[in-house]
Every structure is written in structure tokens, then in C-alpha cells.
Amino acid sequence: MKKHVAGALALAVMVCTAFAAGAQSGEWKEYVYRADGFAVAAPRQPVMSKRTVDKAPGGPVEIHFYNIDTSNGTGLMAIASDRHPNDRRAAQQVLSDAKNGGAAAAKATIDAERPISLDNNPGIEIEFSNDKYHGRTRVYLVGRKLYQVMSVAPASQPLPSEADRFYKSFRLVSRSN
């Protein structure tokens, strides 16, 4: 049941580090993804990829990853997915499953967590680590949409300096179909 978010987190860690080619700094700009219902500011346009998770709670779901490589193996990412119509879990269960399933999939320890919200929608912020990487993820549940905003770095390095600005820039927008 937890594979929806667990797979997203594990893949996010891999994708963030795979793009670590030492990108150049750029001027920050806001990028709006109306179909996924959010906007985020970044030093360059995020690279979007998709993955379908067949064993998500309720049935298959498509997950959208928006990756920004920063430098030295660090990265930023926004993730969006609609919950399957048959997924009947309560909001707090979804957030708990996101936390626990994501940590298990990444073979990471949860180092800290705290409740957060975005426009009165429930969320959780998680700091995690394993032998190779550490990161911080904010997970929000907005109706039937799950969002994750993440920063990841090798264990020996700090999170990207852009992380706080990236988190603060994340906002909801009216969705188009």
C-alpha cells in the first residue's frame, strides 16, 4: 500500500543525484505547472519526467517529477501525483504512509519530522538520511493531489543553498485539465 509514495521518494533520490553535473547558477524564475496545480521558482527550468506506479493504494497512479540539478551531487525536486479514485485513506494516513514508506524505500532513517500546512492543507516535513544521502521533504495533501517538495545532497555535503528559497516559492495554482 505504501508503494505509491515510497517509490516516489526512492526514485526522487536517484533522479536528483543522477542530474548532478555541476550546473551553473542562473536567475531565478517562477515556473507554473497548471495541469499539476502548482508553481515553483528555481534557478533553471525543472526537467519533467513521469512514472506510473501500478501498485499504489487503490490502483495505478502517474507521478510527475520536476527535477532541478544544483551542484556537487545535490538537487531539488517537486513531485505531483493524483491519488487513485479508489484510494480511501484518510489524510493523516496518507501523510504517515508517505513518511514511513518513503524512508523505507530509500533505506533512510527519519531524523526529524514536524507537521506543516500549505493554504490550510495538511502536510509533514521530514528530514531523512542514509549512508549516502540526506535530505528534507515537505509533503502536502491537497484534496486528492499529493505534492512533495524535496532537496537532497550527498551525506558529506550540506543541502543545496537554494533549498529554503525553493521550498518557500512552492505555491498552489488553479488546475487545468
1-32 pLDDT tens trace: 444 444 444 444 444 443 433 344 568 999 99
- Do the domain assignments include residue 177? no
Q: pLDDT tens digit string along 118-169?
A: 999 999 999 999 999 999 999 999 999 999 999 999 999 999 888 999 999 9
Which residue segment(s) compose the domain that 123 sits in? 3-172
The pLDDT of 60-87, averaged and rounded, is 91
Report the CATH number that the domain containing residue 161 is assigned in CATH: 3.40.1000.10
What is the percentage of the chain residues whose pLDDT exceeds 70?
85
pTM summary value: 0.84
DSSP, res 35: G
48, amino acid identity? M
Sheet holding 38-42, edge to edge: 29-33, 38-42, 171-172
- Do the domain assignments include residue 31? yes
Q: Minimal CA–CA distance to 175: which of 136, 129, 134, 143?
A: 143
Instruction: Give the number of domains in the chain.
Output: 1
